[in-house]
A and B are shown apart, each in its own frame.
Chain A
Amino acid sequence: NAGVTQTPKFRVLKTGQSMTLLCAQDMNHEYMYWYRQDPGMGLRLIHYSVGEGTTAKGEVPDGYNVSRLKKQNFLLGLESAAPSQTSVYFCASSYSVGGADTQYFGPGTRLTVL
């Protein structure tokens, strides 16, 4: 199993450009999450999904959109990138709601917006 994978690993954007980050998991997990990690702030939840076709806002959703068309994939979109979105983005997945299930993380995507 590859676990949780993220594409791309690195990206540099100019202000106003758009891009999509792809997260894929092969563990048949129901829940998927997008976090951003900034110095001194830990991991903050952007959006999450409790199943195929569903999404919900997390703590810091503004400026991002997500889609979960297939159970194994969770896409994070930036429609018009801003320098404040420079961050490291982590995707995670977990098996189910309840049961204190562990979240498994991808390797991260480092995004720089100039």
Chain B
Amino acid sequence: ILNVEQSPQSLHVQEGDSTNFTCSFPSSNFYALHWYRWETAKSPEALFVMTLNGDEKKKGRISATLNTKEGYSYLYIKGSQPEDSATYLCARDNYGQNFVFGPGTRLSVLP
């Protein structure tokens, strides 16, 4: 099992603050990295799929970067809103056989 780590485990920010979290993964034989957003009592929803070193993806106020050589990805949220409160998961894609998920970062945005 190739461990995927995420930090911090949880954080609280004020509405309007920008924030970021980290996903770390083994860099050898890298294929793809997925980011998911998981709201309480719902199922995880895909945010980004990233494959190339240096990739940067953006969806509204949320963006992500990828460094496959050193094995990390950052997720950024600009101007956090209460509706951004969720757990953000990353998953290392082992060439379609299965994903290895990190434990997630739980974000709470306080109004």
Q: Does A84 contact B (CB under 8 A)?
A: no
The proximity string for B residues 15-28 relative to A, scoring 1 for CB distances below 8 Å and 0 otherwise, is 00000000000000
CB distance from A38 to the nearest CB of B (A): 10
The B-contacting residues of A in range 83-102, CB under 8 angstroms, are 90, 94, 96-102
Flag if B46 contacts A45 (CB, 8 Å). Answer: no
**Are A45's CB and B96's CB within 8 A?**
no
Inter-chain contacts of B89 with A (CB < 8 A): 42-43
Q: Which residues of chain B have C-beta atoms less than 8 A from A107's C-beta?
A: 42-43
The distance in angstroms between the C-alpha atoms of A41 and B6, with both chains bound, is 11
Contact in complex: A97, B96 (CB < 8 Å): yes
A/B pair count, beta carbons within 8 Å: 61
Total interface residues on A, CB under 8 Å, equals: 29
Count residues on chain B whose CB falls below 8 Å from chain A CBs.
25
* B71 at the A interface (CB under 8 A): no
CB <8 Å contact, A102 and B49:
yes
Known: A40-B103, A97-B97. 11 other contacts (CB 8 A): A35-B101, A42-B89, A45-B100, A90-B44, A97-B95, A100-B51, A100-B93, A100-B96, A102-B46, A106-B43, A107-B42
> A-side interface residues toward B, CB under 8 Å?
4, 31, 33, 35, 40-45, 48, 50, 58-59, 90, 94, 96-108
In the A-B complex, the 4 residue pairs with the closest CB atoms: A97-B96, A100-B32, A105-B43, A42-B103
Residues of B within 8 A of A (CB): 1, 9, 31-32, 34, 42-46, 49, 51, 89, 91, 93, 95-104
5 residue pairs bridging A and B, Cβ less than 8 Å apart:
A33-B99, A40-B103, A102-B49, A103-B99, A108-B43
